[in-house]
Amino acid sequence: MTNSPTQPRKPDRPTTAVDVNQVVLGTESFGDDAAPLVLLAGGTTMLSWPDALCERLASVGRRVVRYDLRDSGGSTTADPEAPAYTLRDLAADAVALVAALDGRPAHLAGIGVGGMVAQTAVLDHPGAFSALTLVGTRAVAPGPCDGDLPDHDPATMPRLFSLPMPDWADREAVAEFGAARAEVLGDDPVAARAAAARIWDRTPDTTAPTQMANQLGMVFAALDCTPRWRERLPEIAVPTLVVHGRRDPFFPVGNGEAIAREIPGARLLVLEEAATAIPEDATATVADAMLSLG
C-alpha cells in the first residue's frame, strides 16, 4: 500500500463530533462565535467546500461550519450501498446541527447532492434558516431527469464511468483516480488529486471498497429521495443564491437556471470557467456573493 503524500499542505483542522438524530456528524469550524454559515457536503465529503472559501467567509466575521454527511468522513458510517435513512433524514440532520451550534437561524449552503439536501431542509424546516446557497445542483433527485431540465452530458458520462476503479486501499491510486475523474469532468486535476488524498486520510475504513467509493461520490442511487420537492421551490422565502459552473457536464447549467427561476427573488451566479467544483480563483467571488445575502 502506498502512503506517499501528493503535495505539501497545511494539516487538516481537528474534526469535532456532534451528536444529532442518533448519529454523529464530523464537523470542522472556521471563524469566531458569530452567526453560523453551515456547509452541506457534496460528493467528496466536507472537502467539497474549498479551504480558501471557508477561510474567506470566516475572515469577515462569520462562523463557518462544514460537515460530512452520513456515511462519509468523520460522520457515522454504516452501509453506503443500503442507507437506512432518506434525503429527509439528511435534511433533519442539518436542522439539528444548527440547533446544536447555537440555535440561531443559519445560512445553509449545499453543493452537489448536498444542494438537494439543502433545498429540502429549507422547505421542510423554514424557520431554521436565514439564507440559502445552492452550488452545482438540481431540483430533482439522482436518476431520471425532468424533461425540461438538461440531463448529464452524454459525451462525458461514458468516459466518467469507464474509468477503471482503483485499489481503494492504496492512497496514491485513489488520488490518481480523483485526478482522472476531475479531468473528465473539466475540474482542476491537481486540486482534485490533493483532495482525494485528504479524503482517503479521513475515511474510517479504506479497505472497504464501498466506503471509499462513497467518499468520492460514487454511491448515491440507493438513497430514498421521495417525495419530489421541485414543485415546492416557490415556497422558499429566504434570500437565495444559486451558483453554477457554465461548463458543468454532470448537472448542466440549465439546472441552476431553473432553480433560480423557480425560487422567488433568487440570484443566479454563473461561473463561466467552472465545471462541477468551485475553482480556487472563484472563491472570492462566491464568498462575496454568499455574504451579500446577509
Q: How confident is the model at residue 1 (pLDDT cuts 50, 70, 90)?
A: very low
- Cβ contact 69:98 at 8 Å: no
Secondary structure (3-state) at 46: strand
Q: How confident is the model at residue 219 (pLDDT cuts 50, 70, 90)?
A: low
Q: How confident is the model at residue 20 (pLDDT cuts 50, 70, 90)?
A: very high
Secondary structure (3-state) at 211: helix
- Cβ contact 211:25 at 8 Å: no
Round the average pLDDT of the chain to a whole number and report it: 91
CATH of 16-153+217-291 given 3.40.50.1820, 3.30.70.1140, 3.40.190.10, 3.30.230.10: 3.40.50.1820
Task: For the beta carbon of residue 254, count every other beta carbon within 10 angstroms.
Answer: 16
**pLDDT tens readout for residues 161-194:** 999 999 989 999 999 999 999 999 999 999 999 9
pLDDT at position 14 is 79
**pLDDT tens readout for residues 226-272:** 999 999 999 999 999 999 999 999 999 999 999 999 999 999 999 99
Least confident of 114-128, 213-227, 263-277: 213-227
Residues 206, 207, 211, CA angle at the centre, nearest 5°?
Answer: 60
pLDDT at position 103 is 87
Q: How confident is the model at residue 22 (pLDDT cuts 50, 70, 90)?
A: very high
**Element containing residue 262 per DSSP (H, E):** helix 254-262
Given a cut of 90, is residue 141 above it in pLDDT? yes
**Burial annotation 212-232 (CB, 10 A radius, 16+ → b, else e):** bbbbbbbbbeebebeeebeeb
Torsional sign, CA 40, 44, 47, 52: negative
Q: Which of 42, 39, 41 is nearest to 56 (CA)?
A: 39
**pLDDT tens readout for residues 92-116:** 999 999 999 988 999 999 999 999 9
